[in-house]
Homo-oligomer: A and B are copies of this chain.
Amino acid sequence: MITPSHLALVPFVSVENMMRLVHHVGLETFLKELAVEIEADFKRWPIFDKAPRVPSHSDVGVIELMPTSDGELYGFKYVNGHPKNMKEGLQTVTGFGLLADVNTGYPVLFSEMTVLTALRTAATSAMATKHLARPNSRVLAMIGNGAQSEFQTIALKAVCGIDTVRLYDIDPAATEKCAANLAGLGITIVKCSSPEEAIEGADVITTATADKEMQTILTDNMVGNGVHINAIGGDCPGKTELHRDIVARASMFVEFPAQTRIEGELQQMPLDHPFTELWEVINGTAAGRKDAAEITLFDGVGFAIEDFAALRYVQEKIKGTTFFKELDMIADPDDPRDLFGMVLRAK
């Protein structure tokens, strides 16, 4: 065997190591710090290379690549979305991602991103909620109690001070699972038997449902003034969660408009429907919530910069830890022109 050079070895964070890292840092601290990192990258939004993700659609789902770069680091995520997976005992969304050095093109971090995507999606909702919800929002209605629901709840607790969650899912077993997982984590849990019941008295509503079709999880007459909505389950063409009228009534905030237009609630609205880019609110160049009666809507679909920030965060946090192993991923012969010689000598 030829010993690879250090550049040939890429730190790899497995699922097991990601979970160890989360507990090492502490779940709430992890979500808080992650939201800070995402916010930092939203603040410097204009410097990033941005494009809608690159999808490969099939009848049953989508596989997407989400690249971006800040000029020094390049990152991308591979992620799938297969709503039917759940019935087969599989994850709806799985993923992994990578950071590379723009100057050399060599990868510098390879990581699982099923767990990390769940964390960054929750941290992004929490960041949006912090900037858009009424101050002192305390009650969350969590509609859709699947894989993302507990992450959303804990991130909103950690970042925004949510102290009560009202759970609803069309499948009561999902609500039971969510309630059991959240028990003992310092949040009051109310299990509800209808969306109407769940949003009673809610300051913040998060919808995270997974059916790949146009849904109306929330209709206009259900939603009172002043709430903030995170609509994060609609994230591909033909998949929305809110009735058009409620979208029309709310002030809409989006990540990357060209992608939200294709994938978000925005896809059901006319081309001239107004929206604000969330990074401008965070950056202070656009207004967020105008008054306590306004309905704010974060039409979240997930954007590459959030994954980039998450990978940056993981890269920083694993330094000096044992939460990674090195992968012999890149061929790096002593003489760069002698790749063939390296192969020959391996015989």
**Residues in A lying within 8 Å of B, measured CB to CB:** 1-2, 4, 7-8, 12, 14-16, 19-20, 22-23, 27, 49, 51, 54, 56, 58, 60-63, 65, 67, 69, 71, 74, 76, 78, 80-82, 85-86, 88-92, 94, 96, 98, 100, 102-107, 112, 114-115, 118, 145-147, 149-151, 174, 177-178, 180-181, 327-344, 346-347
A–B pairs, 25, beta carbons within 8 Å: A1-B16, A7-B90, A23-B347, A27-B343, A49-B56, A51-B54, A54-B54, A58-B71, A61-B103, A63-B67, A63-B69, A63-B74, A63-B100, A65-B65, A65-B76, A80-B105, A82-B103, A82-B104, A89-B335, A90-B336, A91-B333, A94-B106, A94-B331, A112-B328, A115-B339
| B112 x A344 contact (CB < 8 A) | no
Nearest B residue (CB) for A337: B146
Q: Which residues of B contact A65 (CB under 8 A)?
A: 54, 65, 67, 76
Chain B residues near A49 (CB-CB < 8 A): 56
Bound form: Cα–Cα A337–B93 in Å: 10
Enumerate chain B residues within 8 angstroms of A104, measured Cβ to Cβ. 61, 80, 82, 85, 88, 90
Number of this chain's copies in the complex = 2
Report yes or no: B96 in contact with A107, Cβ–Cβ below 8 A: yes
Grouping DSSP codes into helix (H, G, I), strand (E, B) and loop, the A interface class, with mixed when no group exceeds half, is mixed
A146 surroundings in chain B (CB, below 8 A): 337
In the complex, the answer to whether B341 meets A177 with C-beta atoms within 8 Å is yes
A109 to chain B, nearest CB (A): 13
Chain B hits for A331, CB < 8 A = 15, 91, 94, 112, 114-115
Q: Of residues A92, A115, A334, which shows the largest number of chain B Cβ atoms within 10 Å of its Cβ? A: A115
Say whether A115 contacts B343, CB under 8 Å.
yes
In the complex, what residue of chain B is closest to A152 when comparing beta carbons? B340
Residues of B near A92 (CB, < 8 A) are 336
- A174 surroundings in chain B (CB, below 8 A): 337
